[in-house]
Structure formats: structure tokens, C-alpha cells
Amino acid sequence: MDVDFGDARSIVVGFGVGALVLLGLYSLVGLDEVAAALSQADITLVAAVCGVAVGWLFAWSLALRTVLGVIAVPVSVLRSFLLFAGATFANNVTPFGQAGGEPFSALLVSRTTETEYENGLAAVASVDTLNFVPSVSFALLGIGYYATTFTVGDRVELAAISLAALAIAVPVAAYFGWRYRDSVAEVAVGLIVPVGTRLARVVPFLDAPDESSLRDRVEGFFSALERVAGDRHQLALALAFSAIGWFLLSVSLWLSLLALGHAVPFAAALFVVPLASVAGVTPLPGGLGGVEAVLVVLIVPVTGVDAATAGAAAVIHRGATYWLPVLLGGSATAMLEADNASKATKSD
């Protein structure tokens, strides 16, 4: 099954818009002030932030490896790291974050592990779903600390209400989606077939989807999800790796502020990081610009630092958790695809 990664023009346009959003944000915050704050950053701690970010990628790659093991797709620790780095790269260069990057990530998993595409998609979707649980838990823990220790401002209160709504809406939607998965599958097939057929008429290299084949793939996808959901021990293990990853992401932001001379309560990072990650679903590559804006908007009232310091902390944190994975993930994707091409040539 072929999945279009998205043409180069749309990616370039996305990065262009993201750059404009960043420029607008830091113009409001003060470019000179942010640059001045960054110039005073502790280089050792900045390097530590990068190390923590690699640890986060490794933890979540182990969650992916665990899920792949449940659906009988064995993969080594190193290859799982390369696969997750590649998936993160896809999320960071496509619009709508994980929603935009999942098709490519699933294709990369499928090609590298020589499994069915629907198994790769189920694994990637399962990890993304599992990652939601610790993120909300940490955010609720952080806001609970602030609610009992400090006076919560209007902006933080609004963020807390949004978080509570998200914590209720997503599990409810997931529950009903899973309970009525047969109906969801029918609706998906009913939508994809006519849309795909119309696209095939105007796009020369695109084949019209076969309804029977598509139905089998959708059923295979849900079957793989059932296997993941049925193994509670491995599910708990994957959740533990996910929680470690979220903890390290929070450490990254906390260290970013510490590198600028501000030792803020760690609960602040636990609260801010998961909420800011929601901005990753914006129609910008990896939430570029949107995530930084949310970080600044939340860091200032939650920690009490000035906007320039918050902006500088966002630069360090996102440099390690966005731009570094783009470099690592791009390289990992190239390595895996070269290996896949080599295997395909040998098999021919």
C-alpha cells in the first residue's frame, strides 16, 4: 500500500507559515530580549536538555517496540529507536502533527519490519493513544499542585478547564469508537472508496481503492488493535515507557528554564508540557510556532518569569524536542529506507 508523504511544496509552505508565526511571536516578546537571555544560558545545562530529549525518544521507542511485540512483529531496540525517530520526523514535518505523520510512520514500520501496513498503523496509533494517558495524568498532577499551593490566575484556570474537558472528551470518544468499531469500519470504507475513486480519475499515479481489499485492511487494523488491548501486561509496560517519556519531556522544559537561571517548581513543567503539545495538531508542521506560542503563554503566568525568559526557554526546549528529532529522524528515515531498498533489490 502506497502512502503519499505529502509533496515538497506543501511542506515548504508549512515551514514558511510556521516561520512567520515564530517571527510574529518573538517580535511581540522582543527579539533582542530573547537573544540576550539566550546568550546567558548555561551551555552545560543546554547540552543536558539535548541528552534528555534523546532519552525521551528512546523511552517512547521502547513503547513502540513493546506494542509491535504484542502483534508478533519483533524488532530490535536499535531498530525501534530508528523507527520512532523516523515517526517523530514525519510528525514534525507534516501538518496536524501525529494525525498527519501517522500514514508515513505506519508505512515506514511496515517496510522495515516486513509486516502488513495495517499492523504498522495499528502499532503507531496504539502508541499515540497510550501516550495520551500519562500526559493528562501529569498535567492534572501539576495543576493540582498549583491549585493547592498558589492562587491560580484566569489564564491558568482556563487552561485547567480545557485540560479537564480534554481528559473527559478523548476517552469518551475512544470508548464509543471502540465499542462501535464495526460501524466505524463501515463508515471509513464508505468514505474512502468514493473519495479514492474520484482522486484516481484526476491523479495519474493513484489507483482506485478496491472495496474488498480495503475492508480486509480495516478489519486487520482493528484486529491488531484488539491484540494490543488484550495483553494487559505488555500494555502496562508500554504505558510505563510512555510515562517515562513524558517525565523526560517535562525535565527538558524545567532544565531549559534552569539553564536561564530560573529554578521553577517542577510541577510547572508537568502542567505546561502536555498542554503545549496539544498545539501540535495545528495545520503547521509539528505545530511549529503554535507550540512555542502556547509555551510562552503558559510559562509566564505559571512560573512568574518574564516573557523574554519564557521565549528563550521555549527556544531551548523546542530546539531539543523538535529540531533535534527532525535531524535524527531524517537521518534514521534515510538509513531505514536505504536498507529497505537494499533488501528489496536482493529479493528480486
How far is the C-alpha of 222 from the C-alpha of 253, rounded, in Å? 36
> Does residue 186 form part of some domain?
no
CA-based angle 36:39:44, to the nearest 5? 145
Cα dihedral across residues 193, 198, 200, 201: positive or negative: positive
> What per-residue confidence (pLDDT) applies to 4?
45
> What per-residue confidence (pLDDT) applies to 274?
87
> What per-residue confidence (pLDDT) applies to 141?
78
pLDDT tens-digit map of 177-210: 767 777 776 776 676 657 656 655 654 444 555 5
> What per-residue confidence (pLDDT) applies to 203?
46
What are the residues whose beta carbons fall under 8 Å from the beta carbon of 22, sequence distance 6 or more? 288, 289, 292
> What per-residue confidence (pLDDT) applies to 5?
45
Enclosing domain of residue 71: 50-162+234-347
CA-based angle 181:186:191, to the nearest 5? 125
What's the pTM? 0.82
How far is the C-alpha of 121 from the C-alpha of 217, rounded, in Å? 10
> Does residue 38 form part of some domain?
no
> What per-residue confidence (pLDDT) applies to 334?
92
How far is the C-alpha of 266 from the C-alpha of 262, rounded, in Å? 11
* Rounded percentage of the chain residues whose pLDDT exceeds 70: 75
How far is the C-alpha of 185 from the C-alpha of 214, rounded, in Å? 10
> What per-residue confidence (pLDDT) applies to 104?
85
pLDDT tens-digit map of 306-340: 999 999 999 999 999 999 999 999 999 999 988 88
> Does residue 32 form part of some domain?
no
> What per-residue confidence (pLDDT) applies to 135?
82
Q: If you ran DSSP here, which 8-state letter would residue 208 be given?
A: P
The total number of structural domains in the chain stands at: 1
> What per-residue confidence (pLDDT) applies to 58?
97
> What per-residue confidence (pLDDT) applies to 333?
93
> Does residue 336 form part of some domain?
yes
**Cβ pair 242, 63 in contact under 8 A:** yes
> Does residue 148 form part of some domain?
yes
> Does residue 87 form part of some domain?
yes
> Does residue 300 form part of some domain?
yes
Q: How many CB atoms lie within 10 A of CB 304?
A: 12
> What per-residue confidence (pLDDT) applies to 200?
52
The pLDDT profile of the chain, 348 residues, written as one tens digit per residue, is 444 444 566 677 888 888 999 999 999 999 999 999 999 999 999 999 999 999 999 999 999 999 999 888 899 999 999 999 999 998 898 876 666 677 888 889 988 998 888 888 888 888 888 888 888 788 777 777 766 665 555 556 666 666 667 667 766 776 677 677 777 767 766 766 576 566 556 544 445 555 666 566 666 666 766 777 777 888 899 999 999 999 999 999 999 999 999 999 898 898 889 888 877 777 788 889 889 999 999 899 888 899 999 999 999 999 999 999 999 999 999 999 888 887 767 665
> What per-residue confidence (pLDDT) applies to 132?
81
> Does residue 301 form part of some domain?
yes
Alpha-helix runs per DSSP H in 30-116 = 31-39, 43-70, 77-93, 97-113
